[in-house]
Amino acid sequence: MALPQQRPILITGGRVIDPANGRDGIFDVLIADGEIKAVDQSIPAGSLDGAVRVIHAGGLVVCPGFIDIHTHLREPGFEYKETIATGAAAAARGGFTTICAMPNTDPAIDNAAVVDYIANRAASVPARVRVFGCVTKQRAGRELADMEELISAGVVAFSDDGDPVYDAGLMRLALTYSRDLGVPISNHCEDHELCPGGVMAEGWVSSRLGLAGIPAVAEEAMVARDISLAELTGGRLHVAHLSSAGSVAMVRQAKERGIPVTAEVCPHHLLLTDAWALGGKGDPNVAAGPLAYDTYTKVYPPLRTETDVAACVAGLADGTIDCVATDHAPHERVSKECTYHEAAFGISVLETALGTLMSAVHNGDVSLPTMIERLTTGPARVLGNGLSQYTALTPGTPADLTLFDPDAAWTVDVNQFASMGRNTPLDGVELRGRVAATIAGGRLVFEEPAVLNKGETA
Amino acid sequence: MVATVSNEPEVFQGNAVPVPGLRRHVLDLDDFTAEEIAATLDNAAAMRAVLERDVKKVPALRGRVIMTLFYEASTRTRISFEEAGKILSADVINMTASASSIEKGESLLNTGLTLQAMGVDVIVVRHPHAGAPHFLARNLSNVAVINAGDGAHAHPTQGLLDLYTAREHLGGLSGRKVVIVGDVLHSRVARSAVWGFAKAGAQVILSGPPTLMPDPLTPGGWGAAGNNGVANPLANVSVESDLDAAIEGADLVMALRLQSERQQRGFFPSLREYIRRWQVNDARMARANHDALLMHPGPMNEGIEVSSGVAHGERSLIEEQVTNGVAIRMALLYQLAGAVAVEN
Amino acid sequence: MDADEIRRAVTRMFHEILERNHGADGLLLAGIRTRGVPLAERLAEQIRQAENVSIPVGRLDINLYRDDLSERPRMRIRPTTMPVDVAGRTVVLVDDVLYTGRTVRAAMDAISDLGRPLRIQAAALVDRGHRELPIRADFVGKNIPTRQMELVRVRFNETDGIDDVCILERGTA
């Protein structure tokens, strides 16, 4: 990300929540030359030289820019679903200043040339783009990729996401080999034999709809395997998009035992249940009418029960789950405009993430500073230290910030999305919590005047 | 020719009494009320009288176009719809698509939009994927959709004809004990029958290999009175894998077709063991009520899920189910044609 | 019309039916559901009392023969029942009100699909005019001139618990 610099920005009167510095209060923030210049109780605009953009942020939260360590940018290979440019624009609208491209592209990100290609394509987009490399060559699950070469090219972690590293022996080798490289192996945990043909969570809803189910144990069996392998090898395991109560319990126990494991959870798994597939926006008591089989609810891991949702929320609150990751998975129309069986897995998440997450805050299940921690220092911690400079509002560090109104109610309208993926079950749903502005590298990359103006008048 | 129905009750009922609920589509029975089911069965009785006449033709749906769109092989269901439409004077066009065309050819949506543009009024769809009829119903604004079987989900017209057949023989269905035996997990016939019989007030017991029993269809679970203050419409449904226990005192036994691939996939050890534990035979029917009835949705694997003696015995309603299927489909086509007319 | 007037009208109608057809031989009264049925049964009962002959009464549901499915959707259909074959009979269609003639037209089609009657006649308790088809009643209890916007409501004890006929403004029924 190298964008032309803008005039300095002064953000006044906002509630600054900066978990890395333990700060939570009303402060002014001054940004210039792409950096945080000052954070103080009062920075009078008149004291500054020249033209300054002043943002009155009363009523808004000002925090480090969000980091997403699980973003499908689809480029190269699937530019009809998303490009790095549109994905980055969606990130900016969602308050994310750093996103991590997943390697299930075509070609897969299994060599330095593809990493370089992505870096070039990301040079002038409105978000920092980091890259995950494949665990195995061509993501085929047979031989390890050239991990050190990938790291040298800038890869921040490894994953064969979209598919698990299925062979337990190979997963052991990956964890062992990567141990000295300082980056985690992220695994998409799914035991195929336990969910043949499965398209949604196994339970009363799948039974009602006559759809093949994916039991929670299909995820949990592999989470258990991987935790044991992490314990055995000492390699760093990251559990991608953890979604079941059983997985949360296992990760919690593993952490208590000191096993090097981290975990992420997606916004949708913190709010939506399998009942959304009935077409009644989650109402479990609707009959399965024409709106049922909503293919926008088809995602892996599947939307599960209220018990699983509650366990994930609790895990995020108590730190068992280190961070939120969107698993933003944009798809073109026809991938979802078909029967549930045929539909692609995945939800376009970046632009609804904050509004979705804030429901757990408004419910009182997760504090606002904790939620921000799970979107900033949390994901940086998972990846090691490479991103920590972007997670604190410390003078002298790059100015990556998100301003949002925690209470603003708004209705999701996919036609407003910057993402090419309009695939979300939340279209038309009212959420509370909306991004007002996103600043990446000192540049205002997104602003929502309607939300920002609230600060002007506050 | 004398057209009579001997058991017609001596009640005058207004011609202007509509079937309750403005129904656009028939997707499954879970959104039918008990009253709508009863009204549909009543209409089917009138249609059955038409079927028994020399002149099996009425002009009710003259000028309407019905399309049967079958993505799975079927003989009896498709012909049943075709006959029903033709007796009602609709034009019936049949379209069959091989399974491979689903993957390669025109998408289901584009097929539906094309048919809608051609002025088709009703699409009767069978599809191997659950929810395909819902998908069409959601995307087509001027067409009524009837589900003729979608994946393992539902087969509502079969469910209604089962109810009709059972009601004709048992009188009412309330409090009757209905046992559904076999591969319930993969059976759309069974799922629709569960909704239908439960809504009609029957006690429904599912029996078969534990590996082929589905999860409950409602949040509370089988037999639960309710969930979070909402009454469970399937409170009178239960699972009993031991058929000898389940069939005790049954008024109606419905055997499901067993597909041999289930054995190959390991759902049960062998056909021999299946027959030993779950075949509906004379010895098992003897445990049911002395006048208990047998139904089967067909096509039947005689000697596997049902013994030959029971299949062709005097309690078997299998052939009657076929005739009643035409009457039920006539009733539904008539009711839907009216609903589309209202909306347009 | 009150109960007495209805009774007198029915009496006059049955006399006319017998007179026109030279007795009760070969007659079949086909009541059009709903209120044609009790009217047909009253006619048959009066004929039985007066002449000591039993005339068969059938019930005709004409919903499947209507030409206005679009306006009257999703009706409940009741079976058509004829106690004897219509072939060779004089079928008297019986309805409470004769209005546009479309019901009688549908009823004639319905009868024709059951067999080939010798002839078909039509009887109505009330003829309110406004015919839309070239149809007339052979037997009428009472001619009641109406405006298009009015409704004629006939109630019978058997169906409604009271015998009366009144004219209502459309929308008040």
User: Do B165 and B308 sit in the same domain of this protein?
Assistant: yes
pLDDT tens digits along A223-264: 999 999 999 999 999 999 999 999 999 999 999 999 999 999
Q: Do B217 and A340 touch (CB under 8 A)?
A: no
Task: Check CB contact of A202 with chain B, cutoff 8 Å.
Answer: yes
Q: Do C81 and B4 touch (CB under 8 A)?
A: yes
Residue in A287, A338, A341 closest to B31 by CB: A287
User: Do B88 and B224 sit in the same domain of this protein?
Assistant: no
User: Do B132 and B191 sit in the same domain of this protein?
Assistant: no
User: DSSP state, B209?
Assistant: -
Over chain B, what is the mean pLDDT? 89
Residue in A202, A285, A292 closest to B131 by CB: A292
Quote the minimal CA–CA distance from B123 to chain A in Å.
Answer: 14
CATH class held by domain A9-62+397-457: mainly beta
Over range A51-59, report the average pLDDT.
Answer: 92
- Chain C residues in contact with B23 (beta carbon < 8 A): 74
- Candidates B7, B12, B23, B24: best to mutate against C (most CBs of C within 10 A) is B12
pLDDT tens digits along A128-162: 999 999 999 999 999 999 999 999 999 999 999 99
Q: Do C76 and B57 touch (CB under 8 A)?
A: no
Task: Check CB contact of B232 with chain A, cutoff 8 Å.
Answer: no
Task: Check CB contact of A232 with chain B, cutoff 8 Å.
Answer: no
pLDDT tens digits along B305-343: 999 999 999 999 988 998 899 999 999 999 887 665 545
B220, part of any domain: yes
Q: Which of residues 284-303 of A touch B (CB under 8 A)?
A: 284-285, 287-293
A328 has pLDDT over 60: yes
Any alpha helices (H) in A276-367, and if so which ranges? Answer: 306-318, 333-336, 353-362
Q: Which helix (H) or strand (E) holds A377?
A: helix A377-383
Question: What is the Cα–Cα distance from B63 to B88, expressed in whole angstroms?
Answer: 10
How far is residue A217 from each of residues A190, A191, A241, A246, A306, measured CA to CA in Å? Answer: 9, 8, 15, 8, 16
* pLDDT-derived band at B8, boundaries 50, 70, 90: very low
**Contact in structure between A162 and A108 (CB atoms under 8 Å):** no
Q: Do B3 and C84 touch (CB under 8 A)?
A: no
The pLDDT of residue B188 is 96
Q: Do B131 and A209 touch (CB under 8 A)?
A: yes
pTM comes to 0.92
A458 has pLDDT over 60: no
Q: Do C76 and B338 touch (CB under 8 A)?
A: no
Over chain C, what is the mean pLDDT? 91
Over chain A, what is the mean pLDDT? 95
User: Do B142 and B253 sit in the same domain of this protein?
Assistant: no
Question: What is the Cα–Cα distance from C74 to A231, expressed in whole angstroms?
Answer: 68
Q: Do chains B and C touch by CB distance (3+ pairs < 8 Å)?
A: yes
Backbone angles phi, psi at B160, to 5 degrees: -70, -35
**Contact in structure between A99 and A73 (CB atoms under 8 Å):** yes
User: Do B114 and B42 sit in the same domain of this protein?
Assistant: yes
Quote the minimal CA–CA distance from A306 to chain B in Å.
Answer: 11
Quick one: tokens of C109?
């089609």
Q: Looking at A310-314, A326-330, B118-122, B261-265, which range is the least confident one?
A: B261-265
The pLDDT of residue B319 is 86
The pLDDT of residue A59 is 95
List Cβ<8 Å contacts ≥24 apart for B307-313. B307/B279, B307/B280, B307/B281, B307/B282, B309/B281, B309/B282, B310/B280, B310/B281, B310/B282, B310/B285, B313/B282, B313/B285
User: Do B135 and B213 sit in the same domain of this protein?
Assistant: no
Q: Do C79 and B1 touch (CB under 8 A)?
A: no
Pick the residue from chain B with its C-alpha nearest to C158: B12
Neighbours of A166 (CB within 10 A): 16
User: Do B174 and B252 sit in the same domain of this protein?
Assistant: yes
Task: Check CB contact of A337 with chain B, cutoff 8 Å.
Answer: yes
Task: Check CB contact of B319 with chain A, cutoff 8 Å.
Answer: no
Neighbours of A364 (CB within 10 A): 7
The pLDDT of residue B264 is 79
The pLDDT of residue B220 is 85
C60 three-state secondary structure: strand
Q: Do chains A and B touch by CB distance (3+ pairs < 8 Å)?
A: yes
B7, part of any domain: no
What is the percent of chain A with per-residue pLDDT over 70, rounded to a whole number? 98
A6 has pLDDT over 80: no
- Chain C residues in contact with B334 (beta carbon < 8 A): 64, 74, 77
Pick the residue from chain B with its C-alpha nearest to A339: B132
The pLDDT of residue B16 is 46
User: Do B121 and B244 sit in the same domain of this protein?
Assistant: no
CATH H superfamily, domain A65-390: Metal-dependent hydrolases (3.20.20.140)
Enzyme catalytic residues of A: 327
Q: Which helix (H) or strand (E) holds B230?
A: strand B230-231
The pLDDT of residue A2 is 57
User: Do B111 and B198 sit in the same domain of this protein?
Assistant: no
Q: Which helix (H) or strand (E) holds C119?
A: strand C119-127
Over range B94-104, report the average pLDDT.
Answer: 68
Amino acid at A394: T
The pLDDT of residue A394 is 97
Task: Check CB contact of B340 with chain A, cutoff 8 Å.
Answer: no
Q: Count of alpha carbons within 13 Å of B307, Cβ hemisphere only?
A: 16
Residue in A202, A292, A338 closest to B215 by CB: A202
DSSP B258-326: PPHHHHHTTSSS-HHHHHHHH-B-HHHHTTS-TT-EEE--SS--BTTTB-HHHHTSTTB-HHHHHHHHH
B147, part of any domain: yes
Quick one: tokens of A301?
């891991």
Q: Looking at A112-116, A286-290, B18-22, B168-172, which range is the least confident one?
A: B18-22
pLDDT tens digits along C108-151: 999 999 999 999 999 999 999 999 999 999 999 999 999 988 88
B181 has pLDDT over 50: yes
User: Do B194 and B219 sit in the same domain of this protein?
Assistant: yes
**Contact in structure between A82 and A421 (CB atoms under 8 Å):** yes
The pLDDT of residue B344 is 45
Q: Do B131 and A204 touch (CB under 8 A)?
A: no
Chain centre distance of CA A386:
17
The 10 Å CB-count burial string (b at 16+, else e) for A319-353 is ebbbbbbbbbbbbbeebbbbbbbbbbbbbbbbbbb
Amino acid at B134: H
> Does A9-62+397-457 match A65-390 in CATH topology?
no
Task: Check CB contact of B76 with chain A, cutoff 8 Å.
Answer: no
Q: How many domains, chain B?
A: 2
The pLDDT of residue C172 is 57
Q: Where are the domains of chain A?
A: 9-62+397-457, 65-390
B15, part of any domain: no
List the domain range (segments joined by +) for residue B57: 29-155+323-343
Q: Do B1 and C73 touch (CB under 8 A)?
A: no
The pLDDT of residue C78 is 87
Residue A164: closest CA among A100, A225, A115: A225
The pLDDT of residue B19 is 65
Quote the minimal CA–CA distance from C139 to chain B in Å.
Answer: 23
- Chain B residues in contact with C87 (beta carbon < 8 A): 1
C107 has pLDDT over 90: yes
Q: Is B24 left (phi over 0), alpha (psi -120 to 50) or beta?
A: alpha
Task: Check CB contact of B151 with chain A, cutoff 8 Å.
Answer: yes
User: Do B90 and B129 sit in the same domain of this protein?
Assistant: yes
B189, part of any domain: yes
The pLDDT of residue B6 is 33
Task: Check CB contact of B262 with chain A, cutoff 8 Å.
Answer: no
Q: Count of alpha carbons within 13 Å of B261, Cβ hemisphere only?
A: 1
Pick the residue from chain B with its C-alpha nearest to C64: B60
User: DSSP state, C165?
Assistant: E
Q: Which helix (H) or strand (E) holds C150?
A: strand C150-155
B89 has pLDDT over 60: yes
Q: Do C72 and B338 touch (CB under 8 A)?
A: yes
Name all domains of chain C by residue range, CATH numbers in brackets. Answer: 3-146 (3.40.50.2020)
B4 has pLDDT over 70: no
Quote the minimal CA–CA distance from A303 to chain B in Å.
Answer: 15
B6, part of any domain: no
Residue B45 maps to which CATH number? 3.40.50.1370
Query: Per DSSP, what are the bridge partners of residue A17?
Result: A24
B116, part of any domain: yes
User: Do B177 and B303 sit in the same domain of this protein?
Assistant: yes
Chain centre distance of CA A150:
22
When comparing pLDDT for C77 and A152, which is higher? A152
Q: Do B338 and C79 touch (CB under 8 A)?
A: no
3-state helix, strand, coil in chain A (%, to 5): 35, 25, 40
The pLDDT of residue C171 is 67
Pick the residue from chain C with its C-alpha nearest to B335: C74
